Structures are given as structure tokens and as C-alpha cells.
Amino acid sequence: MKTTIELADELLEQVRSVARREGGTLRGLVEEGLQRSLEARRNSTRRKLDFPSYGGDGLTPEFQGAPWNRIRDEIYRERGA
């Protein structure tokens, strides 16, 4: 299938240079890069962060499993930020 993508000029020149040096093609390098990216995503596991707590039981039920930006916003809410 044919498609059009935009690449930064410098990146495109680097890829073309590698392809010429290795006797490959731009298409081959793009396909290899996409395959590696997909493989890395398949093999990655999302790590759970262990937030330390001091003198308590960790996050309150309201914030259990909440995304960091929600927790951060609550921390700074009363400071007017």
C-alpha cells in the first residue's frame, strides 16, 4: 500500500544515507523502524509506581488509581495554581 508521510529533512537525509551505505532502501528502513516500534510496544509492560507513604496508608480511596495530573491538580488547587 502506498501512503504519504512527512519527515524532518535531517531525518530523511540520515535515513537515505544509511540506506545507501547498507545497500538498502528508504522503504526497508521505514518498515524496519515501524516493526521495531510495534514490537517494543508489544513487549513493554506498564510499571506500577510504588508511592511511599509516611505515617499513613497511602492514597485515599478517592485517589486510588487516579492519574498523576489529577493528584497534582488537587495538591496545588488551594495554592491558586
Answer left, alpha or beta for residue 25, where phi above 0 means left and psi between -120 and 50 means alpha: beta
The better pLDDT of the pair 59, 23 is held by: 23
- What are the cell numbers at 55? 505515617
Per domain, the residue ranges of the chain are 9-43
Cα 14 to Cα 24, 30, 31, 33, distances in angstroms:
13, 12, 15, 13
pTM comes to 0.52
Instruction: For residue range 31-60, list pLDDT tens digits in order.
Output: 999 999 999 988 887 777 776 667 777 788
Q: How far apart are CA 81 and CA 76, in angstroms?
A: 6
